Amino acid sequence: MSPRIKKFRKVLNMPIIKGFKPYGLEANKQKKEAITLLFEEYEALRMCDYDMFNHSKAAAEMNISRPTYTRIYASAREKVAKAFVEGRQITIEGGKVYFDSDWYHCKKCGCFFNNPEKENKVSNCPLCGSDEFNSCDNDNYHQDMSTKYCDDVCFCPVCGFEEIHVNCFPCKKKICPKCGSYMRRK
Per-residue pLDDT tens over the stretch 82-127:
999 988 899 998 887 776 667 777 888 777 777 766 677 888 888 8
> What pLDDT is recorded for position 72?
94
Residues 128 and 86 in one domain: no
Which of helix, strand or coil describes residue 15? coil
Residues 54 and 108 in one domain: no
Residues 55 and 92 in one domain: yes
Residues 18 and 49 in one domain: yes
pTM: 0.55
Note whether residue 118 is domain-resident: yes
Number of domains in the chain: 3
167 to 3, 63, 141: CA distances (angstroms): 27, 20, 10
55 to 15, 43, 88, 97: CA distances (angstroms): 20, 12, 28, 18
Which of helix, strand or coil describes residue 143? helix
